[in-house]
Structure formats: C-alpha cells, structure tokens
Structure 1
Amino acid sequence: MRLTYYLQRARNLPPHMVIIKAMSKAWKRATLLYRRRRDARHSTYVKNAPFPPGRLNNYFGAVPLGILRSHAGQIAALAGHYLEHRFDLLGSGWVQVKHGMHCRGLEGYRYAMGSPVHPDSYGKWLDGKINRANVAESRRIWRVVDGDYVPIDWHLDFKSGYRWSEDTWYLDIAYGHKPGVDIKVPWELARMQHLPQLAWACAMAKDGQVGFAPARVYAREFRNQVLDFIATNPPRYGVNWCCTMDVAIRITNWLVAYDLFRVQGVEFDAKFMNVFMRSVYEHGRHIATHLEWSPELRGNHYLADIVGLLFAAAYLPRNPETDTWLAFAVQELISEVNLQFYPDGTNFEASTCYHRLAAELVVYATALVLGLPDEKRAALREYNHHLLTVRPGLKPGPVPLYPLPGSNRLAPFPAWYIERLEKMAEFAMHITKPNGHVPQIGDNDSGQLLKLQPVYRKMTVAEARARYANLDGYTDLPGQAVYWDEDHLDHRHLVAAVNGLLGREDLAAFAGDDRLETGLVHHLAGDDRLETGLVHHLAGGTRLASYCLGGELAGAERARIGTRKDWLRLKSRFNSLTGEQQRVVEIPVPGSNLLKDLKLYAYRNFGLYIFRSRRLYLAVRCGPIGQNGNGGHAHNDQLAVELNVDGEDWIADPGTYLYTPLPARRNEYRSAKAHFVPLAKGRREPGRLDRGLFTLGNEAKAKCLYFGGKGFIGMHWGYGDPVYRVVQLMEHGIRIMDYTGEGSFCCSTNTTIPSLSPGYGIRHG
C-alpha cells in the first residue's frame, strides 16, 4: 500500500518535482548513513558543554506549603511509589519497573525479553548494553549514582514485555511492528513527569509532615533517577531519543523539578551538576536539530518541541547558541499559537484532551517568557539569526515587543495572543460537565506537559480491578491496598494555570482555591514571590487584563446559529417523513424543569455546541475533523451527543484505548459505532479509516444549521447522501430525531456504545 501511495503521488506531480523529490530522498538516505556510522564510531555525549559548570537559572519562588499540606497524604503515597520505582502509566496499573520484571501482556500478547541486571558501582554492568563508542562515558556517569540505587528499565514496554535495545541508533528504532507492543509506554515513563512529586515530598518532609521519609531521600532519588537515565540512554541511542516531543517534555520536567528542589535550599553536588547541565544542553541541541516541523502538517509535537527548547534555553547560561534557541522558541511559539488555535481559543486537533495538552504547553511557555530576567530578555535583541539553520528559520532580531493588556510592561506577545490564551481556559471551563469531566471528543492519550498537582481517585486495588478491564490479572499490589487512580478527564489544572496570568474570579471559582498551578504560573511570569500558604490569594503583581470587561459575556456564550424560522422549517421537514427515512429517540427526564437557567455555548471552529442548566449538560459534536483536514486525532463522531443529567453521565464518548499496539482496536474506538451518532445500514464509515491510524477521511463535512434555545440541528455528508440530526430540548426530556435527505438508505441511531475509557485504557461497564 505504501508503494501504491508513492506512485499515485508521483503521477500527480510534474516531472521536475518528481526528480527533485527523488534527489532529496537519495540525499537524505546518504546523510543518515553518514550520521549512523559517525555515531557508531564516536561517543554521542558532548565532550565539553560550551559554558562553565555551575548553576542553572531559577524561576520559582517559595514552595506553597499551605496547599501542599492539604494534599500531604496523596503526595506521600505517590512519592512512596516513585521511590520504589512503581508507576501507573497508560493503563499499566501500579507496577514496579525494573530489569527482568514479569509483564502481564496486552490482550494475550506477551513478550519476555528483559533480563535481570546486577549493577556494580563501577558501571561494568553496562558493558554489552551500551554501544561501544558510549560505554566508557556511560560507566563514568554511573559511578556518580549512589551505590544502593536499583536502576529503572527505561527501554521496556512494561505492559507487553517487549524491550528495545539500548544500543540501537535512534532512527533505526522500530514500532508498530509487533502486535500488542506500545512504544508510548517507555516514552511516557521517560517523560519523568513524576519528578515534581518528589520535590513536593521533600518540602513536606522539611515541613515536618508525618508519613514522609527524610527530605534528603527525595532529593537523592531525583538525582539518581536523572543520572540513571543519562547513563543508560546515550544521546541518539535507544527508544527515548526517537520522538523529539518526548525529549522536550522530559527536559521540561527535569528543569522544573530541579528548580523546585533548589527553592527549598537543596544543594546538588558538583559531579551531578556537571553531568546534569551537559545533558540539559544535549537535550536542547537534540531538539533544535530534530524539530518535528513540516510545511504541510504540524501539531502538538512541534509545539512541544519549541516549548522544550524554550525551557532549555531559559535555564542554561547565555551563549550565542542558547540565545538563538530562545529567540527561535519565542518566535515559533507565537506562530504556532496562531496556527494551532482558532480565534475562539480552541485547538485545531479536534480533540478536547489534545486541547488540554496544547494549551498547557502554551501557558507555561508564556509564563516563562514573561518571567525571563533582564539578561535573558536581552538575548531577544542580541541574537545572531544566522547561527540557526533549521527550518522554518529564525527571523533577524530583535523579537518584536508589544504592550501587555492591563500592564505597563512590554512582551513578545500581541494582544490577540493573550486573548486566545484566555479563551483556551474558557473552553475548558465551558465544556466541563457537572461531574468535573470534559467530554472525550477525539483522541485522549492522557498527555500533559507538567503534572504539578494531578487529580487522583482513591479506591482499593480490588475496586480498580473490577472497574478496569486492562487490570485483569493484576497482582502487583494486594486487593485491599490503596489504589491511586489518576483522573485524566479533570482539566481544572489548565484553567488554574491560565488564571495565574489573569486573576479572573469565574476561572478561580471553577478551578478551586486549592490549586498549585495558579500561584506557580503567577510567579513564573515574574510577578510577586509566592507567599507560603497564600498562593491563591495573591493580590499584587502584574495581572493581564481580560478581553471580557465589565461583565461582558464570553464570545462562545453570545454565539447563535440560525433563526426560529430555520428551526421550524427544518423540523417540519422531519415531520413530513415516514418509515426508514427517520428515527426518533425519546429520553424522558423526570423531575424539575431541565431548561431552568439554561446557557448555551457555541464553539464553531472546534465543532462543539453545549447546553447547560442546573440539571442538564448536553453537548453535540458537529464540525471540522482537525489538523486542516487530516483528522489525525479525530473520530467518526459527527452529530454525536453527550448527555449528563444531575451530574450523572447518561450518554458519553467511549474514549480512545490504544494507538499503535492493536490497529483494529484503535479503529473500533474511532468508528461511528463507538459513538451516539446516526448510522446508515450497509454504508461505509462517515470518514474513511483505511488511510492510516492517524488520518481520518474528510468525507462528512458536518455543518450546524441551527443552534439556539429550541435545540440543535446539524447535518453531514459522510454516507454519501445527507443525514440530519435534530436535538430538541424540552422541560422534561430530550428528543433526538435523525433523518436522511433523500430517503435512499435506512437511518438508525446508535444506542449501544462501548464502555467508557478514562483515556489510554479500557473500563468495564
């Protein structure tokens, strides 16, 4: 199929373009061959970082002890797991990740590839694992690790048991080639998003809270885990260097955790700092030379790349190279917000959870740029754009500066950028259901940039096994032990972070008054020092002015589509049809009036229409498939309905489950049958699923025809002929009416959707 695809593309190109593309491919292959051979002969660790050893820059102030104390039990439990190298990622359950561990397998696929190791303080155990050119340096780094430390197996899919080799060149890493194997598992672990929890545990131990080990234990664990990774993952070798996005998220988490330890007065030894600072530089250089940029299509991966590059440049000392990284990252951050976020603040990937990820990337990067010290801000004027030769290129300096809304400061961010950032938070707030969860529109792989204060549900292991099918056979913890179940659909942390720049009362009320993110972002942006225990009550410092002034409604709340005449005309057309042309689903809702205090929110760019009152939450999906028509993270969910009554889900999207390990299962969760949508007997999927796991056919072209107080009317062309859906709101029920425009096929409504998945997992009914 791949050969057919390229032949078809070649036929559609003029002859000279075919020749140019063929020559480009040949040059790329020759270049890769040279680089592979060079890396095999010479160590890929940087011999000498281009700056003197010392401290990295710092951006955080005092630790918010007041909020941490209210979450001390959770922090102690999570940090305890991480001290034991126990992780729960992508539906794995809490498992201890080590060399030679037994893995349960994934839906019957299990591999036994790892073997136990016996680490020695000299690093001889790395012989035969690390490639020959790097092993001497890997051993030297390992000698800095504490002697009683047990290494983590960073190269293992600890769900299926499949293991990638440490000595495989990063561009030769294969994935999607074995059933049940998920490369995202080692990638997710190597993002090291658990490290900030070790910093919080250190703070609680210093504060004298019960249930914690001595503070130094958490600092040493951070040190050892970072050194472990650096020693066993030489640059450009192994699974954890082949996706730049994950390199970027990892270095961001390293730097934030390091900063949070330093705030507490933790002093790291010179040997560690030399290795650590060099690796920060190696990460930055890798990102700068492996950007996931394309003129045709780019998304959250590239956005993550530039945010990781920004953090590396901001924390490292100034030199000509880091100056160009900083200027380039600021330039591209603004450019990508303009490309990847619509004017209404929604992300262009057609996924509510990828909106969360991308908006997180933007808000923390924005705060970091606003908080740059004068010396670093000078780099935005003084950089040499000729030094950075990567595409899309760096413009000549200086980086333009604009007045910040509500402030007398200048910053690289135009007014439209700040408004769009504010609307990112509004979208997350408006779409959240009364149960605190967002609807799972499109893909959800649980991705985040930072997990500073993750939300967990506390249950027993036995309850978790009963709830999640992917925990069948789980025995790592006893049945009555506490199971901390991360809630990936609670997006309040994003709203809290954005509100750190705004200070809006409605956003604060939604996010809650015990969120760490608000105060941390407020300080990261260069405002007042955090006051212990009063992070959420900061009154001083710079606040950005809201685009909604004087109680003005948000743009999404003002939007309406169609008129009452349109509603009556389209509904009367439905009433004239009979038989197989139409289907009606009546959903009675006993109790008080559903429509009391009804509010409407229209996000036309994203394609999500929301009705909410005291008792009712109803959302309808109808709009673009995202990524400028590629639909890489979209599902066949056009005209799907989500319904929540009195805080309980009645109709909800089933989630995602998996990406590459089981392609059939991925398509099952992307299909129309997995969603509460109109179905057509004997017809194809509304959008083609046979173009790759991260491409969706754009045949549906859904359109909203009416959105107002009466309800919703939309249509799409995904079955060839138009199919319409009318959602009528009544005081004591919902009526959903589906009909076809031509009456040429049977229209039915899917009322049996799979059990809900919290994200990258699967749940029992």
Structure 2
Amino acid sequence: MRGDVTWRALALEAWRRSMRCALLRLERMELARRRDQGARLTAEFARLSDAALLDRFRSRRAPIFLPGFASAPRVTLARFPRETEKLIATARKIADEHRWPLLGFGDVQFGHQVDWLRCPVSGTGWPLAFHADLKIVRGDGSDIRVLWELNRLGHLLTLAQAWSIAQDERWSEECWRQIESWRAQNPIGYGPNWTCAMEVALRAVNLLAIFELLRRSSNMTAERLKMMLALFDEHGAHIRRNLEFSYLVTSNHYLSNIVGLLWLGVMLPELRAAREWRAFALRELRSEMDKQILDDGADDESSTGYHRFVLEMLLYTFMLCRANRIEIGERYWEKLRAMLAYVRAYLRPDGRAPLIGDTDGGRFLPFAEREADDHAYLLAVGAALFDASEFKLSNDVPPELLWTGGEEALDRFLALPTSAQLTSVAFPRAGVYIQRADDAYLLFNATSTGLHGRGSHAHNDALGIELSACGRPFLRDPGTFVYSADLHARHLFRSTAFHSTVEIDGEEQNRTCERAPFVIGDDARPRIIRWETGPDRDLVIAEHYGYHRLSSSVTHRRAVLFDKRSRFWLIEDALLGEGHHRAKFIFHFDSGLVVESLDAGLVEACDHRAGAALLVAALGSNGALTIEDRWTSRHYGERRASQAAVWSVDSALPLVVSWALVPVCAERERGTAQGLIARLRADRFSVLMSER
C-alpha cells in the first residue's frame, strides 16, 4: 500500500497479475513450438525469394532510421578527425582484443568467446531457465545490471559506427559473429537476458541501429538477414507479451517497452506484427508522457540519472517520428522541450549533473561513451532540433548530434549563439530549487519518493543540498555505486547519512530495508513553505515529515538563504517537536578534497590544486564535530573515497541551529571569509525567525 494507491487500482492490479500467471503458462507452451520458426513476414514479403529480400534491405530508402545515419560517417571523417581516431581505436580493441569499456568498471576483457550468460565483473553465471522463474536479486555478489549492460550490445553499435566510416569488413564480420553467438546462447524466453522487457527493448533498438549501418556490408548474407528478421520478430513479440505495465504505477521500464515496440514497428514494416506494435506504442507513448513527465519537465522518478535516460529515449524517438512523418502532437513536443530546459537548469557551472537519486548509467542508443553525470550532450541535440540557443553551452559538437541529426543539424547548431548566463530557478513539481550567481551554485532538494509515492529510485535526501563554487563541486550527492552486487553498499549510498541533510535518532527519512534494494517508503513528503529569488538574495524554506513516525515525532524544517552580493549561504535547521533526540547535521563533501576541522565549529574542505576551498561554520554551539569517511560515485560500479563533516547534538526539542557556507576561490579571500563568519556569529541572525 506504499504511496497514493486507490482500492480500484489494487483490484485491477490483482486481476492483471492473475491474468499474467495464466499468460505465462501459455507462453511456456508457445516458446517450445516457436523455437527457430523464423520471422513472421507480411504476405507481400513472405513471397519474395531470399535474394530479392536481401536486395530490398540493401537498397531501401525508407523508413528512415535517423537523419544522421546518412551523413554522419562522411562528416565525422572529414570534420572531426580526432573523434574519428578515437572511435577507430575503440573498434580495434573490440574486434582484435575482445575488450571494451563497461559502465564505470573501465575496459573489461571478454575472452575469445563472449559468455553472454556470465557477469564479466563478478564472474557469476546465470542458468537458461524460463525467464519468469529467474530471481534477479540473488545476494551472492552478482549484479544483473552489469550483465544486462553487456547484453544491450552497445559495444557492437560502436563497432558498426567505425565500420561505416572505415569500411573495414573485419569489423562488420565481428559484429555478425557476435550477434550469431548471442542468439545461439540466448534462446527466446530463456535465461537472464529475457527476464526484463526493458532490456529486450533497449537491445532491439541497438540491433536496429547496427543493422541499419551494416545492411550494405558485404558480410550481410541472405542467411544473416533471415536471422536478423527472426531476432527482431522475437524481440518484439517478447516485449508485447511481457509488458512491464501495472495499474499501481508505471516507470521508465514500461516507457522503454513501448518505445522499443515503436522503433520495431516503424523500422520493420515487413513484419506482420509491425503495424499493431506501432499503433499501440504511439498511443501508450502519449499516455505515459502525461503520467511520467511532470509539468515543469522533470521525469517523475526523483532521479536526474533516470531523467537523462528517459530524455535520451524520448528525444531520439521524436526524431525518428519526425523523420518518418509520424505525428505525435505539439503538446508532447513542448513536454520534450521542458525536459531539456530542466537539464539546462540543473547542470552545475562545471557542466556536470548533480546525481540526485539513483544513477545506473543507462543509455538509449549509446553513440559515445558517457559517464553517469555527463548530461550536457543532450542539450546540443535539443538545440539543433528546436533551433534553440538557450540549450547551446558551447561550440563543442558531441557525436550524438552528428549521428542523430546529421550535417544539417550540425550546421544549424553551429549557427546558434551560445546561451546567456543562468539565474536562480525553481521546479516546484520536481521539488528542485536552484540558487545561482556567476559560478556559485546550490541545489536544494525537496524531491519526493517519486511516482506518487511508489518510486524505487529515490534516495533519503530530503532537504539535502549540493553546492558548487570556484569552478568545482564541494558538497555533492554520493551517487549510486551498485545495485545488487553489494546490498550493504547500496543501502549506504541511498541512506540519510550519505547526504547533506539531518539524521535523527539513527533513523532513515524514508523507511528502507537492506534486503529490498528497490523499495523505499514514502514518509518524508517534503513541502515547500517559501521560495523567493531576487538580484541580491535567494531564499528557500521547506520541511519534511519523515521523522513523524518516531515515538515523539519530529519535523525537520530547513531554510537556505543565499547572499549573492557577499557570496555566502546561511543554512538554518529547526527540529520541531517534543522529547529528547540525537541529531546529526551532515555535510557530504566531494572526493578529492582535503577536509579538516580548524576548530570545533569550523571545517575547511580544500582543493589544493585549484587553490579553492569551502568553509562550513557552525554559528553557535552546534554539538560535537567529527570528520567521517564516506564514498562518492560518479558512474555505476565506480566509487572514490570522500568525507563528511558531522555535527552531533543530543538535545530536547525544539532546537534551532545554523551554519554559514562560504566559498574561498583564492588565498587572498580567506581573511575576508573568516571576518564574514565572525560577523555572522556575532549577529545571531535567524532566517526562520525573521520570516515569521
């Protein structure tokens, strides 16, 4: 009953699940009959000889995959030699050494024959059992997310891109051999690579891109064409049978399902089921955008990482539809534009994204390798698509722009002026409030659990902050690290203790369980009390109710005042309630900083290489200070040591404590910063009291 669930939705969901059980029994029987059946073609194409069918696919000009596929190979080679050289070098590693990058684990060696059923990091294997019988979270150190990333076949898209530029048939042959190997090891409906329809859909779209690039290669034979058509038909049929729909909530999984069906339906009209897939997917795409994309442009999962994934998926899908003259509706184009505006707003001054909530590095059509906090490339694609200069950060051209939009989009992008400097902005539906002035940036997080309280990718970060100044982040969200490979680490990275907020009595803001890595309660429900922004200052005040379930309930109210003239932040935390409680006030620093306690009430986090620092000063007697070890992850599977400053207070409530956060961009500013802190301590100014 987590979240906003009606009795009607529960009844419908119970009915759906009972029907699902019956359909799975039918699927078991059908798979035994359908194995190696071949593609189900329309009558027109089923009559063609193998040679005629091959000729059709080699020469067809419609449907159009993406406009950039026609010109990107030529443009990349002629105008971007450095990027081409990097792509070719990666392709050589894939083909000659069977080695390529995987998420945040760096280059991974896969051996002479890729084992598609074995996790390349943990080494654990998976059985070829019926897909619905497999347990995903096993607690044995395995991580299905890593195995799925391998089986999305994104590395073969890289190889196919390189072939389209250099025309080295050894690379096209390597692609075909790996696809044949994959199909031999993964009979439809059996094994871990069929357990999740989202993974099937993402793999199908990558295969469509690979097929589009390689369909004119000399190594594509009539037999390989028949194999690919059968593979596409199997993928589409499996998605349609195993849609990740629920009457309780739908998420990026179901959206991926319908997008995969749409791409298959548009790009393969030769398949008998294509028309139904396309019609169904177009209808559901609009419906899901209405449900999952908030009015202010944010994806409703309280995660910037999943916002990137969903935006990438929708951005390229809209481009596919436009290229093939498929109407979606102006309202949905406006929603897409709002999603881009949200990215533009939340990017830090260094061009990277704050990693609110879960971030697993997921991509849709990975045309280039990207870390999880790299979101800016989508703005370049959006700038060209909408002819919108507000999305252009610089003249740097990401490969995604070329492969999706082609030479025309490139010229349109380069003709645009770069966007003006950003100002402070609020996204009330998302629960994100951003304070800015020049290179000073603070993100205030009042996000909910997401998906009407039934989200699975939120963290315990209510009223948390990210802070950046002097060209680098100082306070930052820890990221995600891993999912099921290390359940304890998963629990820590989404815990209250790993975020720059307040922990009370050792409890989580929202209830979580280490053994349930994708379940989070809906206790906090943050509420904004006040938001104002002006030329001299910004102010946000909010509270959450995650600690109301304690024996004597506590409300955490936080105010963040940004003084733009003097370049400092004043934070005030009020713990409202009764009884005696132990509170921890946490400031989670970025990795690469030297964090020192200068005295019991002052902490310095210093980047000695850049000569910049952040001073965090308690403006009163705020308890005992400790510097504690933490971790920060910027990409799935990768983590770096970091630290947090923690003030611990045992006190009766109500309690009000305050802090000054002062960036120091050069050594000569240190005296001014310390003088400012001294004045603030003497003034005993109270943000919350002054606002009453």
TM bucket, shorter chain: 0.7 to 0.9
What is the distance in 2 between the residues matched to 1:271 and 1:323?
Answer: 25
Given the alignment, which residue of 88, 93, 99 partners 2:106? 93
Given the alignment, which residue of 472, 475, 479 partners 1:655? 479
**8 Å contact 1:738–1:747 — kept in the other structure?**
no
- 1:718 paired to 2:592: no
| Residue of structure 1 in register with 2:244 after alignment | 292
Q: Pairwise mapping of residues 261-280 of structure 1 onto structure 2 (< 5 A)?
A: 261-262=214-215, 268-280=220-232
- 1:231 paired to 2:184: yes
Alpha-carbon shift at residue 187 of structure 1 (Å):
0.9
What is the distance in 1 between the residues matched to 2:19 and 2:164?
Answer: 53
**8 Å contact 1:157–1:185 — kept in the other structure?**
yes
Alpha-carbon shift at residue 196 of structure 1 (Å):
2.6
What secondary structure sits across from 2:139 in the alignment? coil
What secondary structure sits across from 2:571 in the alignment? strand
What secondary structure sits across from 1:642 in the alignment? strand
Alpha-carbon shift at residue 319 of structure 1 (Å):
5.6
Change (3 A) 1:702 1:277: same
Alpha-carbon shift at residue 756 of structure 1 (Å):
1.3
Alpha-carbon shift at residue 743 of structure 1 (Å):
5.6
Given the alignment, which residue of 187, 190, 208 partners 2:148? 187
| Residue of structure 2 in register with 1:412 after alignment | 328
| Residue of structure 2 in register with 1:49 after alignment | 40
What secondary structure sits across from 1:453 in the alignment? coil
| Residue of structure 1 in register with 2:434 after alignment | 610
- 1:537 paired to 2:411: yes
What is the distance in 1 between the residues matched to 2:13 and 2:462?
Answer: 37
What is the distance in 2 between the residues matched to 1:729 and 1:614?
Answer: 13
**8 Å contact 1:500–1:519 — kept in the other structure?**
no
Write the letter of the residue equivalent to 1:88. P
Given the alignment, which residue of 74, 78, 95 partners 2:86? 74
What secondary structure sits across from 1:499 in the alignment? helix
**8 Å contact 2:529–2:542 — kept in the other structure?**
yes
What secondary structure sits across from 2:467 in the alignment? strand
What secondary structure sits across from 2:319 in the alignment? helix
**8 Å contact 1:306–1:333 — kept in the other structure?**
yes
What is the distance in 2 between the residues matched to 1:649 and 1:24?
Answer: 47
What secondary structure sits across from 2:290 in the alignment? helix
Write the letter of the residue equivalent to 2:328. P
- 1:62 paired to 2:71: yes
- 1:216 paired to 2:169: yes
What is the distance in 1 between the residues matched to 2:472 and 2:538?
Answer: 23
| Residue of structure 2 in register with 1:450 after alignment | 365
Change (3 A) 1:497 1:662: same
TM-score by structure 1 length? Answer: 0.69
**8 Å contact 2:40–2:271 — kept in the other structure?**
no
Change (3 A) 1:32 1:267: closer
- 1:151 paired to 2:117: no
What is the distance in 2 between the residues matched to 1:451 and 1:619?
Answer: 28
What is the distance in 1 between the residues matched to 2:23 and 2:245?
Answer: 19
**8 Å contact 1:67–1:514 — kept in the other structure?**
no
Alpha-carbon shift at residue 310 of structure 1 (Å):
1.1
Write the letter of the residue equivalent to 2:587. T
Given the alignment, which residue of 740, 747, 751 partners 2:587? 751
Alpha-carbon shift at residue 345 of structure 1 (Å):
0.9
- 1:687 paired to 2:563: no
Change (3 A) 1:670 1:737: same
Change (3 A) 1:279 1:603: same
Alpha-carbon shift at residue 418 of structure 1 (Å):
1.1
TM-score by structure 2 length? Answer: 0.75
Q: Pairwise mapping of residues 86-485 of structure 1 onto structure 2 (< 5 A)?
A: 86-98=99-111, 150-165=112-127, 167-206=128-167, 215-262=168-215, 268-318=220-270, 321-372=273-324, 411-413=327-329, 415-455=330-370
| Residue of structure 1 in register with 2:647 after alignment | none
Alpha-carbon shift at residue 163 of structure 1 (Å):
0.3
Residues 276-328 of structure 1, C-alpha deviation per residue, up to 9 Å, x if partnerless? Answer: 11211111111112111112111000111111111111111246521111111
Aligned CA RMSD, in angstroms, stands at: 3.0
What is the distance in 1 between the residues matched to 2:457 and 2:476?
Answer: 18
What is the distance in 1 between the residues matched to 2:210 and 2:314?
Answer: 19
Write the letter of the residue equivalent to 1:283. H
Unpaired runs of at least 5, structure 1: 7-11, 99-149, 207-214, 378-410, 456-486, 523-529, 544-550, 554-596
| Residue of structure 2 in register with 1:737 after alignment | 572
| Residue of structure 1 in register with 2:617 after alignment | none
Residues 28-65 of structure 1, C-alpha deviation per residue, up to 9 Å, x if partnerless? Answer: 545534543554x5452334522434445443322232
- 1:517 paired to 2:400: yes
What is the distance in 1 between the residues matched to 2:212 and 2:571?
Answer: 53
Write the letter of the residue equivalent to 1:347. D
What is the distance in 2 between the residues matched to 1:305 and 1:25?
Answer: 18
What is the distance in 2 between the residues matched to 1:635 and 1:295?
Answer: 24
What is the distance in 1 between the residues matched to 2:7 and 2:494?
Answer: 32
What secondary structure sits across from 2:633 in the alignment? coil
Alpha-carbon shift at residue 27 of structure 1 (Å):
6.2
**8 Å contact 2:64–2:320 — kept in the other structure?**
no
What secondary structure sits across from 1:362 in the alignment? helix
What secondary structure sits across from 1:756 in the alignment? strand
Change (3 A) 1:714 1:24: closer
What is the distance in 1 between the residues matched to 2:350 and 2:180?
Answer: 41
Residues 460-503 of structure 1, C-alpha deviation per residue, up to 9 Å, x if partnerless? Answer: xxxxxxxxxxxxxxxxxxxxxxxxxxx22111222223334212
Query: Size of the alignment, in residue pairs?
Result: 562
**8 Å contact 1:605–1:624 — kept in the other structure?**
no
Write the letter of the residue equivalent to 1:81. K
What is the distance in 1 between the residues matched to 2:393 and 2:440?
Answer: 20
What secondary structure sits across from 2:517 in the alignment? coil
Residues 671-704 of structure 1, C-alpha deviation per residue, up to 9 Å, x if partnerless? Answer: 1001000222x25211111393222211111112
Change (3 A) 1:539 1:518: closer
What is the distance in 1 between the residues matched to 2:155 and 2:454?
Answer: 33
Instruction: State, as a whole percentage, how many aligned pairs show the same letter.
Output: 29
Q: Pairwise mapping of residues 28-47 of structure 1 onto structure 2 (< 5 A)?
A: 28-29=20-21, 31-37=23-29, 39=31, 41-47=32-38
**8 Å contact 2:38–2:227 — kept in the other structure?**
no
What secondary structure sits across from 1:726 in the alignment? strand
What is the distance in 1 between the residues matched to 2:280 and 2:315?
Answer: 17
**8 Å contact 1:68–1:204 — kept in the other structure?**
no
Larger strand share, 1 or 2:
2
| Residue of structure 2 in register with 1:627 after alignment | 451
Alpha-carbon shift at residue 266 of structure 1 (Å):
6.1
What secondary structure sits across from 2:236 in the alignment? helix
Change (3 A) 1:272 1:552: closer
What is the distance in 2 between the residues matched to 1:729 and 1:539?
Answer: 35
Change (3 A) 1:44 1:603: same
What is the distance in 1 between the residues matched to 2:443 and 2:39?
Answer: 56
Change (3 A) 1:715 1:540: closer
Write the letter of the residue equivalent to 2:110. V
Write the letter of the residue equivalent to 2:90. L
Write the letter of the residue equivalent to 1:290. N
**8 Å contact 2:528–2:541 — kept in the other structure?**
yes
Write the letter of the residue equivalent to 1:763. R
**8 Å contact 1:515–1:536 — kept in the other structure?**
no
Write the letter of the residue equivalent to 2:570. R
What is the distance in 1 between the residues matched to 2:13 and 2:321?
Answer: 39
**8 Å contact 1:58–1:259 — kept in the other structure?**
no
Unpaired runs of at least 5, structure 2: 46-52, 58-62, 549-553, 590-629, 643-692
What secondary structure sits across from 1:339 in the alignment? helix
What is the distance in 1 between the residues matched to 2:308 and 2:487?
Answer: 25
**8 Å contact 1:727–1:737 — kept in the other structure?**
yes
